[in-house]
């Protein structure tokens, strides 16, 4: 028995909310197809999301939009970071060291 459809979950998170769209698409669907379907399913709530500009990945691994995904994959839209996490951590350590003096 061959698979004719595959399932995925498209996810986008902000500090205040997680957006999740479960989808079922043809086996030949790409990540771009899944994003288009999720955008259509999101309606007004997804109108302000960066559908075209955000980096994408599957389970935390960056991927191209033209890539195929496997049945059960979580396709993620990534937000741009407001600051570099390494620089933020260095600042926290420096503040902690100053506070100990």
Specify the pLDDT at position 84.
82
Specify the pLDDT at position 3.
64
28: CB partners within 8 A, 6+ apart: 68
Specify the pLDDT at position 82.
78
Query: What is the C-alpha separation between 56 and 62, in angstroms, rounded?
Result: 6
Q: Which residues on neighbouring strands pair with residue 62, listed in sequence order?
A: 57
Of 33, 17, 24, whose CA–CA distance to 68 is shortest?
A: 33
Determine the Cα angle at 17 with ends 14 and 22, to 5°: 100
**Which residue ranges in the chain fall short of pLDDT 50?**
1
Q: Taking all residues of the chain, what is their mean pLDDT, rounded to a whole number?
A: 91
Query: What is the C-alpha separation between 75 and 55, in angstroms, rounded?
Result: 11
49: CB partners within 8 A, 6+ apart: 12, 19, 39, 42, 77
Specify the pLDDT at position 1.
42
Owner of token pair 């100990």: 100
Domains and CATH numbers, the chain: 5-100 (3.10.20.30)
């Amino acid at each position: 028995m061959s698979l004719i459809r595959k399932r995925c979950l498209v996810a986008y998170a902000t500090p205040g909310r997680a957006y999740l769209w479960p989808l079922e698409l043809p086996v030949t669907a790409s990540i771009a197809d899944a994003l288009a379907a999720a955008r259509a399913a999101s309606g007004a709530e997804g109108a302000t999301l960066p559908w075209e500009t955000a980096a994408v990945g599957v389970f935390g691994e960056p991927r191209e939009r033209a890539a195929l995904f496997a049945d059960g994959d979580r396709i993620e839209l990534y937000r741009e970071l407001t600051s570099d996490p390494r620089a933020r951590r260095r600042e926290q350590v420096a503040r902690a060291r100053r506070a100990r003096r």
